[in-house]
Structure 1
């Protein structure tokens, strides 16, 4: 498993200008590669791939002094990025999904570049970073040690701030023995456990709605192209980023707590994209189910825990005592069955998830957690 570790970097003004110029040149290269692919297919019916375009990169750098000052391997990653975009487009077409053709990128929306550590990006002995074409060494706030020697990294710009994301490879972890739990992810209770615990969803969007609306109105009043509109747009982006950080911080702490307490976790394999297009789209996006699942997945692998995803169909309609189907509307928050079972709807669903994941009801069996997992 590849683990990503993100750190804030603090370039000075000259370094920040150089990094911004590098992203602009990479954006030009991306758009030029896209234009070449379109022209080749329209004029000669040829579909270009990464290998064909990478062979021409040396000649392009020789003719363009702007590209020649940056890392060659980083520019190769730009062409790989374009190739992945086309593969994803044709993959969605093949699966019958809706897919938009790859588009030209604006320099104002091109915010990331990938590097090979040791080739284009160097981690100095003093902990600072060196980039090919960028003057001096860039300060980085490494608030925690790297889990292993990084092999690649992504430089990214977010709301005017610079970050570096290192990719490190972690060795296998021995799966630990311990208690198992079933989890139901919902809206009223963000997480309900099969042992009866519930965690209420912090309504981040509702709590920040007033401040968000005020900033959106201020942006709408500004004249397009004015300096004030640029400032208001940055103000709105910073506020939205603050809300996202609060959500991410809560989910990190919640997922870390669950993984530390339980050796095996059963969750629903939800189609979050489909649910986010329904009538509860705002609530589903605010709950960030996909983000929580992703955090549980990599933290469980890192800690030696097992994460088992089960079919979510009927979990909230099945009685955990007798197994009969008890249909309930979404507004009914208690599960009451003729067998006498009376539970919170989400807790009952978590018990059903537990049974589907481990084959026994909570408190009625043991699980063999021996084995090795990749982390």
Structure 2
């Protein structure tokens, strides 16, 4: 089953915008009520059985079950008779709000996340229609339950054969958007290891360094707009809470943040396509980039968006039939990619790699990317079933057959640690 998400800009009328905002407000009230119910249940179980707080304790009957999704969904149905405004929103939309809260609650326990947060009118920005009617899409409009036809800007056509499964309406600083989930009942095989291998090393000094010797500087998306953003935020503290002037200024700040995010996203995709050109295999380090945002360089890490880039690179690799894999990150800057010798720990001030064993010298980031490439070739060497570099043998090819027993000591390897794939045509590798 192939699933894709396409995003389009909506062009609603003033009346339709009022309906969308009303739907967001009702979804926010349902979210906050359901979250409050769950937190109250947990608070009632926090006190020991033999002692109570000196101030107060929230008491719920011991026989009261936990307010799970199914229990809260049944309560939501019963609440519509008492609160008529709940009937103005499609029932499946409110059910999806409870499902989203249930997933956030499970992630809190399973993945160590914090408590889900209560939503104000700025934090609740989207809602989902899990089902649409028959033929909901036209060239200039899309139909939603209880909304009717809303004009949109169809920036790209929906691929033939794909079915629209669900739609998410999102409010952004620049307007309203719809994200369509498209499905096609077909199985597409994953790309196989083939062609020219390319290792990538991500970092703060250079955003990415490739095993081919290319180094790309890290752009400063936030820094270019930081002065303008700082001036707007300085004016915000003098505005009264809840006033129209504060709301207008918040909208200006949100539009500036979205402009920064759009520039980052556009650059990530262009770079991903550039790296996939001429490559049959892409290897990156398996890094938890969340930890990078907890140190003194947290702002620079968030500005670069390393995790977002790797996720988008994986998607572009799949789209361009390029094999993508992650390798072990430990010791990539301490191993010589030419001979495999351990060069010792390098401090961040050392930006040049020099091996005392073989004399190989290059920049630190390029050496790390070449070691990442070598580790990736070691991993795929156990599963490759095609001829590599004109070898006569077929089937499972070992690491020695791919890169040689002594890596780049062969003069044909050109100091990169593997036979030079760039001069070999894809037709020769089939």
CA distance in 1, matches of 2:68, 2:353: 55
Task: Answer with 1 or 2: which has the greater Rg.
Answer: 2
CA distance in 2, matches of 1:167, 1:11: 20
* DSSP-derived class of the 2:81 partner: helix
Aligned to 1:212: 229
Q: Give 5+ residue unaligned stretches, structure 2.
A: 45-59, 379-402, 408-415
Aligned to 1:141: 153
Cα 1:122–1:215 shift into 2, 3 Å: farther
Q: Of residues 167, 180, 186 in structure 2, which corresponds to 1:153?
A: 167
TM-score calculated relative to the size of structure 2: 0.78
TM-superposed CA distance for 1:336, in Å, is 1.8
* DSSP-derived class of the 2:350 partner: coil
Q: Given the alignment of the two structures, is residue 348 of structure 1 paired with residue 367 of structure 2, yes or no?
A: yes
Check conservation: 1:70, 1:132, Cα contact below 8 A: no
TM-superposed CA distance for 1:302, in Å, is 2.8
CA distance in 1, matches of 2:260, 2:72: 41
TM-superposed CA distance for 1:127, in Å, is 4.3
Aligned to 1:325: 343
TM-superposed CA distance for 1:174, in Å, is 6.0
Aligned to 1:373: none
Cα 1:38–1:190 shift into 2, 3 Å: closer
Q: 1:177-231 CA distances to partner (integer Å, 9 max, x unpaired)?
A: 4222111111222111111112111122222222222222222333433322222
TM-superposed CA distance for 1:44, in Å, is 3.0
Q: 1:279-332 CA distances to partner (integer Å, 9 max, x unpaired)?
A: 221221111100101101222223332211111111122211222233221122
TM-score calculated relative to the size of structure 1: 0.89
CA distance in 2, matches of 1:343, 1:192: 12
TM-superposed CA distance for 1:277, in Å, is 0.4
Q: Given the alignment of the two structures, is residue 103 of structure 1 paired with residue 158 of structure 2, yes or no?
A: no
Q: Give the superposed CA RMSD.
A: 2.4
Check conservation: 2:201, 2:208, Cα contact below 8 A: yes
Moved over 4 A (4+): none
Which stretch has the larger CA shift, 171-180 or 287-296?
171-180
* DSSP-derived class of the 1:108 partner: coil
Q: Of residues 51, 56, 76 in structure 1, which corresponds to 2:95?
A: 76
Q: Give 5+ residue unaligned stretches, structure 1.
A: 370-375
CA distance in 2, matches of 1:3, 1:49: 30
Q: 1:248-292 CA distances to partner (integer Å, 9 max, x unpaired)?
A: 100011112223432211001111111110122122111110010
* DSSP-derived class of the 1:261 partner: coil
Once the two structures are superposed, the pairs formed by residues 242-321 of structure 1 within 5 Å of their partners are: 242-321=259-338
Check conservation: 1:326, 1:337, Cα contact below 8 A: no
Aligned to 1:194: 211
Which stretch has the larger CA shift, 33-42 or 197-206?
33-42
TM-superposed CA distance for 1:365, in Å, is 7.4
Aligned to 1:175: 191
